[in-house]
Amino acid sequence: MNHQSLSNFIWSVADLLRGDYRQSEYGRVILPFTVLRRLDCVLAPTKDAVLKEAEAGRPDPFLIRAAGMQFFNRSPLDLAKLIGDQDNIGTNLLSYIQGFSAEVRDIFEQFEFAAQIDRLAKNGLLYQVTERFAGIDLHPARVDNAQMGLAFEELIRKFAEISNETAGEHFTPREVIRLMVNLIFVEDDEVLTKPSVVRSIYDPTAGTGGMLSIAEEYLREHNPTAQLTMWGQELNPESYAICKADMLIKGQDITKIVQGNTLSNDGHPTARFDYMLSNPPFGVEWKKVQKEVQDEHLRQGFNGRFGPGLPRVSDGSLLFLMHLLSKMRPWTEGGCRFGIVLNGSPLFTGGAGSGESEIRRYVLENDLVEAIIALPTDMFYNTGIATYVWILSNKKPQARTGKVQLIDASSFWQKMRKSLGSKRKEMGEAHIEDVTRLFGSFVEAQLATVLDASGKEVSRQIVIAGEAAPEAPEGGKVKLAPLSRIFPTQAFGYRTITVERPLRDEAGKPVLGQKGKAKGKMQPDSALRDTENVPLSEDIETYFEREVKPHAPDAWIDETKTKVGYEIPFNRHFYVFEPPRRLSEIDAELAGVTARIQVMLAELAA
C-alpha cells in the first residue's frame, strides 16, 4: 500500500465524523488514532512475551527487552480485542493507552487524546472509529517507515488546508530534504564508508521528523553499519507527537526529541552535533520570544547563541541560523556541516551595521559558508516565493577555504501532475544529482539551452568551465546562463561611507564651527549628506576620487560614520542581459498586426 492509498483510506474516517466534528477538527481524531494503530501493529508480534513478563511482575527494562522496541504496552488489550466489547469501548480504550510506557503516554497527552475519546463516546462514534482503524494493517512489514512518514505528511497537509493553517510549518517537501541530505554528506567519505561509524544529527524545527528520517535512510543506503543518533526540538504539539512516535518505532532514544520553542527555550543547551538540518518558518516574527532572545544577546554575547546580532522582529529566520552555529561540533573534534532553508530576505535585507548584515558578516568573515543554492519557486506547500538552501561548515576542504559557491538551481524542476497547495513544481532525481555533482566537484559551470530555428527548446546541458558548449542546430542558437559561480568571501563585503558637503551661508560661503572640536572646520549640510557603498576589494580614497569628487569637488568623507556591511546579491550574479529585438522587427510585427485589424474591421463593415 503506497502512502497515497494509505492516507486516502485513513481520510475516509472523516465520513464518520462529518456533522459531529467540523472539518478543521478531523485531525484531532484521525492523527492520534493512526499513531495508535501503528504502535498497536508494531507491538503485536511480541505481545504475548511482554504480557508474560508483566504478569511475572518484572520491571520495565524486562518488558522493553521482550517487546524488542524502546517501548511496550503491559495491557492485555489491543484494538482487535477492544472492538469485541462495544459496551465498554471508552473505558477499555483509556485503559489500553495507560498500559503503554511513559514516553508513549506522553505522545497521546500531546494529542489530548483522552478528551477526543470522551467526545467520540458522547456522540456515539467511538466504536465505529475504533473499528475502522482496527481493520487496517499498519505493521512495518506492510507499510514501511518511509511510507508511514509520507502518509502522516499527506494527512497533515490536508488538515492544514481545510483549517486555513500553514502546512509548510509542519514539514518540508521530500525532494528538498533529499537534496540537503546529499549536500551535507557528499564530502564526508569516512561517514559513508567507515564500518560502524556513529554520528549525530539535529533538527531544531523537527516537524514530523522528515529531515531526520531521510538523513538516516540516506546513510543506511550508503553505509548499512553506520549509526545516526537523532536529536530534535519541535513547537507544535501534534507534529512533536508524530515525530516522537516515528523515532520510537525506529528504535531511537526519544528523550533526544523535545518539545518547546527553540529560540526561547533551547532543549539541548550543551549538545553539539556532526550534522544539522532545518527549515525554519519563513518570515515569521519573533515578538513572542523577543525578551528572552534580547536578554541572551545582551547578557551572554558570543558566549550565547545570538552574539553576532539580532535581525528585525518581523523575520526570525536568521535567529535559527545563529542557533545552529552555536550547535556546531568544534573542528578540533571533527567539525560540523549543516543545511538550512531560508527565503531571499536573509541574503540582502538590512544595510551596513544592521543585525542582518552583522550576522552575514560573522558567517562570511569566519569562512563558514560553503554554498548557497537557489531552489525553484512554487516548491513549498505554503508559499511560492524564492527559497535558498545554505550549506555551512567549520571543516571546509582546502579548495573551499575563503570561498563561497553560488548555484542557481531555479530552473531544475518538473511540473507536478497535481498541485498540492502552493506546491506546483518538484525536483526530480536527475535535478538533485546535478546539483549534488556541481557542489561536490566545486566547479564553475553554465547551463546551455539549445533552441531550434523556431525558438523551441531542444535540450539542456551543463557545461563545466573550460568545456566547449554544444553546437547550435541549423537556424537555431544556444543560450548560455551561469549556473555555478565561485567567489572569495570578501566579494560580498563593502564599506558604507558617509559623504558630507559644506553648509553655506546666504553669501554662499562655507559655515565654520565656532566651538570645541568643530572650531574652524567646515560644518556639514545634513540636506546634502549622502552615502556610498565601496567594495572591500577597493581602496576608499581611490573610489572617492573617481566616483564622488568629479561631481562634488567640495565633498569629504566623515570617517567616524564608516560601517562595514555584507550582502549576497544572488540574482545579480546570475543575471543574463538579453538585448531587445531590433526596431525593424518590432515595426514589421506592428505593421502586420495593424493590417490584420484593418481587414477585420473591413469585414465587419461589410
Complete DSSP assignment for 28-93? HHHHHHHHHHHHHHHHGGGHHHHHHHHHTT--HHHHHHHHTSS--B--S--HHHHTT-GGGHHHHH
Average pLDDT over residues 535-542: 96
Whole-angstrom CA distances from 249 to 130, 171, 374, 591 are: 21, 19, 35, 71
pLDDT score of 168 more than 70: no
308 CB-near residues (< 8 Å, 6+ apart)? 302, 322, 358, 359, 361, 362, 363
pLDDT, residue 164, reads 53
pLDDT, residue 1, reads 63
Average pLDDT over residues 144-158: 80
pLDDT, residue 161, reads 67
pLDDT, residue 182, reads 95
pLDDT, residue 163, reads 61
pLDDT score of 421 more than 90: no
Q: What are the start-end ranges of the E strands in 319-422?
A: 337-343, 369-374, 387-393, 403-408, 414-420
Q: Helices 26-43 and 145-162: crossing angle, nearest 10°?
A: 170
Q: Helices 210-222 and 145-162: crossing angle, nearest 10°?
A: 160
Rg (CA), the chain: 30
Measured CA to CA, the distance from residue 582 to residue 453 in angstroms comes to 18
Measured CA to CA, the distance from residue 451 to residue 449 in angstroms comes to 6
Asked whether the beta carbons of 376 and 425 are under 8 A apart, the reply is yes
Grid cell digits, residue 425: 513544481
pLDDT score of 442 more than 90: yes
| Alpha helices by DSSP H, 344-423 | 345-348, 355-365
Measured CA to CA, the distance from residue 265 to residue 305 in angstroms comes to 12
The more confident residue out of 593 and 421 is: 593
pLDDT, residue 584, reads 87
pTM: 0.89
Q: What are the start-end ranges of the E strands in 109-216?
A: 198-203
**pLDDT band (50, 70, 90) for residue 8:** confident
Average pLDDT over residues 142-167: 73
Candidates 303, 301, 290; CA nearest to 261 is 290
Per-residue pLDDT reduced to its tens digit, 589-600: 899 999 999 999
Whole-angstrom CA distances from 114 to 19, 32, 184, 486 are: 21, 10, 41, 56
pLDDT, residue 282, reads 84
Asked whether the beta carbons of 236 and 159 are under 8 A apart, the reply is no
**pLDDT band (50, 70, 90) for residue 158:** confident
529 CB-near residues (< 8 Å, 6+ apart)? 498, 499, 500, 501
Asked whether the beta carbons of 492 and 404 are under 8 A apart, the reply is yes
Asked whether the beta carbons of 414 and 395 are under 8 A apart, the reply is no
pLDDT, residue 9, reads 83
Measured CA to CA, the distance from residue 173 to residue 232 in angstroms comes to 18
Per-residue pLDDT reduced to its tens digit, 350-394: 999 999 999 999 999 999 999 999 999 998 877 788 999 999 999
pLDDT score of 169 more than 60: no
Average pLDDT over residues 244-272: 92
Grid cell digits, residue 324: 545552529
**pLDDT band (50, 70, 90) for residue 322:** very high
Q: Lowest-pLDDT range, 126-130, 517-521, 555-559?
A: 517-521
**pLDDT band (50, 70, 90) for residue 167:** very low
Most confident of 51-65, 206-220, 510-524: 51-65
pLDDT, residue 12, reads 84
**163 three-state secondary structure:** coil
Measured CA to CA, the distance from residue 166 to residue 174 in angstroms comes to 17
- Grid cell 525536483 in the structure block, residue: 427
Measured CA to CA, the distance from residue 436 to residue 338 in angstroms comes to 15
**pLDDT band (50, 70, 90) for residue 152:** confident
Measured CA to CA, the distance from residue 200 to residue 272 in angstroms comes to 9
pLDDT score of 160 more than 80: no
Average pLDDT over residues 413-437: 90
pLDDT, residue 10, reads 80
**pLDDT band (50, 70, 90) for residue 570:** very high
Measured CA to CA, the distance from residue 501 to residue 527 in angstroms comes to 9
39 CB neighbour count, 10 Å cutoff = 23
**524 three-state secondary structure:** strand
Measured CA to CA, the distance from residue 109 to residue 278 in angstroms comes to 26
pLDDT score of 545 more than 90: yes
Measured CA to CA, the distance from residue 74 to residue 57 in angstroms comes to 10
498 CB neighbour count, 10 Å cutoff = 17
